Amino acid sequence: MTKLYPLKGKIQNYAWGGSKFIPNLLGIAVTGEKCAEYWLGAHEKAPSEVLIENEERPLNKFLKAHLIASLGQKIASKFGRLSFLFKVLDVEEMLSIQVHPTKIEAEKGFKLENEKGIPLNAANRNYKDDNHKPEIMVALGEFWLLHGFLSKDKLIATLKNIPEFTHLVPVFESQGYFGLYKKVMEQSDEENNRILQPLIDRVLPAYKAGKLEKSNPDYWAAKAVDSSSDTTILDKGIYSIYFFNIVKANKGEAVFQDAGIPHAYLEGQNMELMANSDNVLRGGLTPKHIDIPELLKHIEFKPTIPNIMQGEMQADGIERIYRSPAPDFELSQLILNTSQNYQSETKTAQILILLEGEATITEHNTTLHLQKGDSVLILANASYKISTSKNAIFYKATAPL
């Protein structure tokens, strides 16, 4: 059985995405349509296509037909499917404030909503599948995100320094992170507008004049309102902008987000690798369904110290591995010059995407010539080599063994 195949992903046209980065990566026409994500994986919502003898086949169906041969015995037995979902993201507008459930809670929530007869595509559906969704991202340039609650000292300072938030100081001091977040998320739209409108009135002129730094939460609060189609009801996600850490990741730096860590992507492009799931519980900055009681059940109400990872360069001087606690996936960056060859033996399936340059990949009797934006699927128990005549940057997704 051949172990090396061309792979074609699926573009997701979400409203927060940019219109140029992903089309330019893939070498397709820029039409102005929002191209937010490019999915490489076997998720039932948008499975990639495997090219077999000039015929495209959905990756999920291909893997089901060749599960052990594709994934190897250990991963096939442990997960019963491709355990990860690989994405390219282009974030032009802020994503929703969100959190992901644990595996146990995802199974419970998915089963309960199925029993209630809520369709999978229903707008009020919380659980799209029975899986958790830990995720790791590597910045492809300057990338901004919200990641977990500020430390207690920093959050108290924020509440004291912003006139509209001073009334929340005793709430936080007596009821902690949970009490503070619950109060602002459960307040009425009228109360929300009364508190936030003076804040927005103060910061919006400075934002429009280009006087705010992106490290300042005022910048993102103003941007959220300035880019909103409806400013009559101010978004409760604005509180999260002030309560969470604002993190800047530079090109090649990574951030891991486990279940329970509230977060939101703000701006930039990244490679994202996650467990094979689409479960998202939202908390603002979105017109999509928000279930406050369900959201509050899954957030870890504790301070988070952001860990920006540089990755671990391997002995070959080519591969940099970004390790995480997640058993579902492992993300690598490969940078080759013309004098180097990358060689690897797979224990389970891998997906590679070429971000820059060109390359040739060979496995046994199969050779593929890759251009920028091309992706490949490599099955378990393969031995392959990559070379380049123009330098190359790949990202590789697999599962750790």
**Active-site annotation, residues:** 282
Give the H or E element holding residue 376: strand 375-378
Q: Which residues contact 192 (CB under 8 A, 6 or more apart)?
A: 184, 233, 234, 236
Q: Of 362, 249, 252, whose CA–CA distance to 308 is shortest?
A: 249
Q: Are 150 and 158 in contact (CB under 8 A)?
A: yes
Position 354: which residue type? L
Compute CA distances 211 → 7, 170, 207, 214, whole Å: 45, 32, 6, 10
Q: How many helices (H) and strands (E) does the chain have?
A: 11, 22
- Alpha-carbon distance of 385 to 251, in angstroms, equals 26
Which amino acid, 371? Answer: Q
CB atoms within 10 A of CB 194: 13
32 vs 383: CA distance, rounded Å? 41
Q: How many other C-beta atoms lie within 10 A of the C-beta of residue 130?
A: 16
- Note the helical H segments in 96-235: 103-115, 152-161, 169-186, 189-208, 217-226
Task: Locate 94 and state its tokens.
Answer: 């802020």
All residues at 6 or more sequence positions from 76 whose CB lies less than 8 Å from its CB, including other chains: 67, 68, 70
d(CA 9, CA 55): 15
* Alpha helices, DSSP H, located in 209-353: 217-226, 237-243, 292-298
Q: Which of 343, 93, 149, 134 is nearest to 254 (CA)?
A: 134
d(C-alpha 93, C-alpha 85), whole Å: 22
